[in-house]
Structure 1
Amino acid sequence: MLIIGRFIIGMDSGVSLSVLPMYLGEISPRQVRGSIGQFHSIFICLGVFIGQVLGLPEIFGQESRWNFLFAFLAFPALLQLCVLPFLPESPRFLLMERRDEVGAEKAFQAFLGRTDVSRELAEVHAESRAQNTQRTASVLELVQKRSLRWQIITVGVVMSCYQLCGLNAGLVIEKTGRRPLLIFGFSAMAVFFSLLTVFLHYQDRFSWMPYLSFISILLLIASFCSGPGGVPFVLTGELFEQSYRPAAFMIAGSINWLANFTVGLLFPFIQAALQTFAFLLFVVVCATGAVYLLVVLPETKNKTFVEISQSFAKINGVQDEDEEREMQDVLDTNHTNNTSGLKGGADVERESTF
């Protein structure tokens, strides 16, 4: 029974890890897409923290009460079952895959709280026109797509580095941007892992050295929180167009869980072999990730999915003339809409003057 229960919970966790950040990215305006996407990671960490607290010996962490800890999982599951039926479907999914413009309009109105959603609908139509295919692609098709090569590599690097440590919080992603937060976070983690190695190596020689080790751990967690803790999930949804997004999240989720499993399985052996130098392995991984992101990753803050795809076109080296023309049409359309809006505002002001 325990094995079956853990299997079902594991399947649900795997699906949720992919579907939820994708859903949040699709329903959010690009101006707040990063901030809303952060809540996914924040509540994962909150759930882990609550589970650890409930697992203390003073609460449910005893032989006579451990079954109550498993039963506690029923409460968030029941809450989801009560709430989810009232949530609208993703407007991008409705418009781009179901061709249901009325449903997409109603969904946008429900999420944004206003009746005029023409701008959001126009943005999705522009993304649809620039999209190479209108059907959902498989994982194999995504991997074989040359124009998405570096997006896949980027997601793989970020998700692999993501599982090296701890907790996540913070909503500065929209002010600072994805790229600086990731680069700074992984660079700072490399520095503090190096300092932690030094402090652990000399902790038996100086009585005050363990305090520095504790401070390094806190700074490590803060570095992780500054970007690597939540940005990867937001970034995965931003780097791929609608038809490739489900397959991309499947790959990202698989890499994430595989990296989690690998670190948890191998670190005790690494620690036994390297002793106080065990964290140097993480220094190499974090530094490599920071250098890679500095060289490859463009900024995605406040950009549409079409503009993000265009940012990777040069590095992938496969943008054809048709796709470039479609993207230029999108940009021209946005420019025309903005110009019309300014002209309309001027007309209104002139009429009010008369």
Structure 2
Amino acid sequence: MNPETSDKNEPIISSQPAADDDDDNNNTEVKEKQDTKPTLDISTVGKNPDSKTAALPTFCLFVALVSVIGAFENGWNTSVSNVPEKIIRDCKNGQKHVNIGVLPDCLPMENLLWGFAVGSYAIGGLIGGISAGYLQTRFGRIRTLVGNNFSFILGALILGSAVNPGMFIIGRILTGVGSGISTVTVPTYLGEIATVKARGALGTIYQLFLVIGILFTQIIGLLLSSVPGWRILLALTAIPALIQLILLRFCVETPRYLISQNKLDEAQQSLQLLRPGFDVTNEYKEIYDGQQEAETVESRDPEKNPKTKDPKAISSGARKSLSFAQLFRDPMCRKMTIICVTLSVIQQLSGINGVIFYSTSIFSEVFADNAKYATVGVGVINLIFTMVSVILIDRQGRKRLLLASEIGIVVTSILVVLGSIYSINLLVVVAVLLFVSSFAIGLGPIPFLIIPELLPTYGVSAAASLAMGLNWLSNFLVGLIFPVLKDALKNYTFLVFAIITSFGAIFTLLFVPETKGRTLEEIHNENSKDTKNLDSQMKS
């Protein structure tokens, strides 16, 4: 059931039953639902500019910044064990209780155990990523973020008080679960609250805050690479979680999620708060129609639903969220999910985490004991070019930045190989920095922001969970096999990443659609039409 309007300015907001002069006591429940349509206080209509022309209202920016604290946590915990590694696993006094009476000075671990302890973070991310879709559908985006903070807080307490490697691993898994949930729920939230003009920039700030988290932990790690400083460093992840826990009280649920739950009044109020000073009538109607139309069309297909040949028998309400199996039975969602999953996997298989995790060892041959400071330099370069991406994303578009990023990674990976073969250390350092720069402008942020752009509300949770789950699995595999690859292939290690990213560039060129400058509903409608046309051509 679509809202009825007399003209384009007719407001549509609350869900009050429409008056019916022929109403009687024998109306069915379905009839009552048909007579329900959104209404709005008409005093605001036409007096304010259309919300679809809004840039980035202050409250919208505020709730976005609160949500990306989860991205900061992801970056922080990704890199927190890098700089203080030697102190954590190989300090002077070992497990003796010298500097802290009740806790050992450090947690001695051999290379294999340390590799698993660091990699267990990605295992937690895989668990969190896979489960986040269900959580954000069942409880909403905001409540999922609220509950997620307890993963970081509990993980911080365990890491800071760890007395053996087992506790350290449990703490890493818990912070990984929190980060995994954040990779799904935060980009979904950002995509669903963003204005058309600022959606790219808002989507990119997830990666921006992730990079800031990496840089912060590297800088603070230099200051706290001591006993008991490393414990404080690991426990500090609880502070951003506590801050977000407080600030989320002042944030709103996304209008799209509320409409999907048939909470129409709340959806309108949320949209109006996100677009203060603007008339939200047209934007609200577009969001509402986008979610109702999908269910109505499917319901009216006699072959799929013979019991509802009569359109009047169709009840109103948004289409229910899809499961993983249903996701792949829907032609449009299947195609978009494959695109999102491929980009998410290539993001990790490009080799970026090999650089982030092992940058100190990569630079050690050039900078010796000062390699850890060069590692901080990598974080600075990453931050600068992620900020460039924020500026360019809504001007140049997603596809163009992705292609530039992937081609840059291929070229710089080859330069790393050449510099290694011919022992040109300066070339290796410059190529690694250019590698990070190339990653930051496109392949870093875009796989996160493009998922809620390509998938409709009813498909985004399952698709995001699948894409981010495989992203975390790829993250774990790269961290696990990078040292092995480095030992086996030596100077040719980055050639593997160049080949994989070359495939990514070809895939982007052929299959990834451009999404800039359009509303989510316009994108979804166009993708649906393209998929139907392709299916028709294949059948004919």
TM-score range, shorter chain: 0.7 to 0.9
Mapping of residues 28-67 of structure 1, within 5 Å:
28-56=194-222, 59-67=223-231
1:114–1:314 distance in 2 versus 1, CA, 3 Å? closer
The structure that has the greater radius of gyration is 2
Q: What secondary structure, in the 3-state scheme, does the structure 2 residue paired with 1:55 have? A: helix
Distance 2:420 2:293 in 1: 54
- In structure 2, the partner of 1:349 is none
Report the AA paired with residue 200 of structure 1. S
User: Residues 204 and 445 of structure 2 are in contact (CA less than 8 Å); yes or no, is this contact kept in structure 1?
Assistant: yes
The 8 Å contact of residues 407 and 502 in structure 2, kept in 1 or not, is answered as yes
Identify the residue that residue 233 of structure 1 maps to in structure 2: 448
Partner residue in 1 for 2:401: 181
Q: Percent identity?
A: 31
Counterparts in 2 of 1:76-95, with a 5 A limit?
76-95=240-259
Please state whether the residue corresponding to 1:279 is helix, strand or coil.
helix
In the alignment, what sits opposite 1:333?
none
The 1:119–1:258 alpha-carbon spacing in structure 2 relative to 1, beyond 3 Å, is same
Matches within 5 A, 1:179-328: 179-203=399-423, 209-313=424-528, 316-317=531-532
Deviation at 1:43, TM superposition (A): 0.6
Name the aligned partner's letter for residue 327 of structure 2. Answer: L
Cα offsets for 1:71-130 (capped at 9, x unmatched): 2112101101110011011011112x2222221122112112225211220220231133
Maintained 8 Å contact 1:185/1:224: yes
Partner of residue 101, structure 1: 264
Q: For structure 1, which segment, 247-256 or 160-169, has the greater mean C-alpha deviation from structure 2 after superposition?
A: 160-169
What residue in structure 2 maps to residue 169 of structure 1? 387
1:253 CA displacement: 1.2
**Deviation by residue 1:236-290 (Cα, 9 ceiling, x = unmatched):** 1111001111111101110111111011001111111111101000011111000
User: So what's the TM-score if we normalise by structure 1?
Assistant: 0.83
Equivalent residue letter for 1:227: G
Q: Kindly provide the amino acid, as one letter, of the partner of residue 161 in structure 1.
A: I
Q: Secondary structure at the match of 1:169?
A: helix
Is the 2:398–2:442 contact (alpha carbons within 8 Å) kept by the matching residues of 1? yes
Amino acid in structure 1 at the alignment position of 2:207: S
Q: Are the equivalent residues in 2 in contact too, given 1:147–1:319 (CA < 8 A)?
A: no
Question: What is the distance in 2 between the residues matched to 1:315 and 1:113?
Answer: 35
Partner of 1:131: 294
- Using a 3 Å threshold, how does the CA distance of structure 1 residues 273 and 314 change in structure 2: closer, same or farther? farther
Give, in angstroms, the shift of residue 139 of structure 1: 1.9
Aligned residues: 313
2:193 paired with 1:8: no
Report what 2:330 is aligned to: 145
Task: Give 1:51 deviation, angstroms.
Answer: 1.5
Q: In 2, distance between residues paired with 1:86 and 1:314?
A: 39
Q: More relative contact order in 1 or in 2 (CA 8 Å, sep 6+)?
A: 1
Query: Match of 2:216, as an amino acid?
Result: I
Change (3 A) 1:15 1:72: same
For 1:5-37, what per-residue CA distance to the aligned partner results, in whole angstroms no more than 9, with x for missing partners?
333322211111110100010001122111001
| 8 Å contact kept, 2:337–2:455 | no
TM-score (norm 2): 0.55
Partner of residue 159, structure 1:
344
CA RMSD of superposed structures (Å): 2.0
CA–CA distance in 2 between the matches of 1:267 and 1:4?
A: 23
**What per-residue deviation string (whole Å, max 9, x for no partner) do you get for residues 35-87 of structure 1?**
0011111111111221122222xx22223222111221121011011100110
The AA in structure 1 aligned to 2:482 is F
The answer for unaligned runs of 5 or more in structure 2 is 1-157, 159-166, 296-317, 357-381
